[in-house]
Structure 1
Amino acid sequence: MPAKSLAEFIAAYKEEDVTSEAFELENDRLLEIRLNGSVWAKAGAMVARTGQVKFTRQGLLEQGLGNLLKKAVSGEGMVLMKVEGQGRVYLADAGKKITLLRLDGETIFANGNDVLALETGIDNQITMMKRVAGMMSGGLFNVRLSGKGIVAITSHYDPLILKVSAATGPVFTDPNATVAWSGTLQPEIATDISLKTFVGRGSGESIQMKFAGEGWVVVQPYEETYMQAGQS
């Protein structure tokens, strides 16, 4: 590919407004937020901004007692920051692909690590699944998202949506590859004893998420590893 002139470089990659929405993808890895009020964003996700913008880490009162207790039990949590003011804010997360979802009173669940940003009309509540405590060494925690507004979720590469139905039977996924699922599903943790017997395999595919009922689940072609809160 021949070298670009400066004019060609600027023309190819300059910021452009395609819609009038508050959330707009500049490309599939970079989210622009046209800020006029406040939104919630993943802490540390800002890569650039313009205008008068204030960032405040989510306070204890804003997290709610239920979320605080669940974070204390799990040792984990989705760390959000409130972004307030007027201007433009650009967010990204380790080069992951970004998908914008519009909720109109619906409910979805997402891996907390895969939530990049959400409008203030979206309620977020940390959820805990049965039998998770003591079984996972990674950062498996999930967030219930409901209300009206836009949510930005991330995935490594293009996500795959699998339909879950009573006719086809349950779907099993690797927790570290599971991004989100419909609010109609209540996953359970399943273990595969035969896979546990492999030398050097004490986790991974031996622990799976089981989805049964009617709905859908989103997976990514990547097994993500996490750190517990407080680790670096």
Structure 2
Amino acid sequence: MTPSDAPALAPTAEGARGGAAAVNGTTGEAARDAAAVKEGLGVGAPAFTIRPVKEEEEEAVRSLLREGFQSNVKAFYWAIASGLKVPMAGLLVGCAGAAVASPKNAPTIAAAGASLAALAAGGMLLWFKSKHRALQRASMADDLGCIASYYTEERQGPGTGFWVAVSNSGDLLGCVGLQRRTEERAEFRRLAVSLKARRMGIARALTAHAVAAARAAGVRTMFLSTSTAQHAACTMYERDGWKVVSTKAVPVLDLRIVRFELQLKA
């Protein structure tokens, strides 16, 4: 099955109230995938269709993913602040102890401590900005140069595809990719939803669509990597049956890289 042949679900807010439906008439696990799409739609969700990306939409997809990168910056800043709590506390305790031991030099010690704290915080922010830009550039250069031609079964293997959620008025609401890695495993990639369309169940609809395509192609295990900064996404994955298989702490930052897997049944 090529990406263009993958079942294109067209969930709507009305359909969410209409109960479960099968994908292209199939039943069992595939039907439950379709039901998950409908149950995930929030109140006020726009009518939309999930279909393969078109070449002329690729720049809009890249803009959507850049928007997602930027929306996560605040979460990473909080991770930096949280990660600096312990060293900053140690610095303050050290300065306080030195001030008590030498009252005459207390003002100088306090000023030095404040300067060191400011330099540390500023240095961390500059480091993060440079790393964030580098990560964004590397990420955008990986598979997003020519999306439609990269995510093909001929190039990556059966089940591979890249889909977009498009409203009936033509607005790009979200995207998701699936890349076959081995005979039994596929990577779930590039899930993103426009800021104006979040909390409407579109992410769950895109996820269910990719799961249905993977199952139809004989994939047995799907996997993905994210971070605890994406709290809403992690919660959604766990709620939908994905299991955490590994975590890795990020130095200095108060967050972890999380690897999820989803076991698929035939």
- The TM-score normalised by the length of structure 2 is 0.23
Larger Rg: 2
- The TM-score normalised by the length of structure 1 is 0.25
Judging by fraction of residues, say which structure has more helix: 2
Judging by fraction of residues, say which structure has more strand: 1
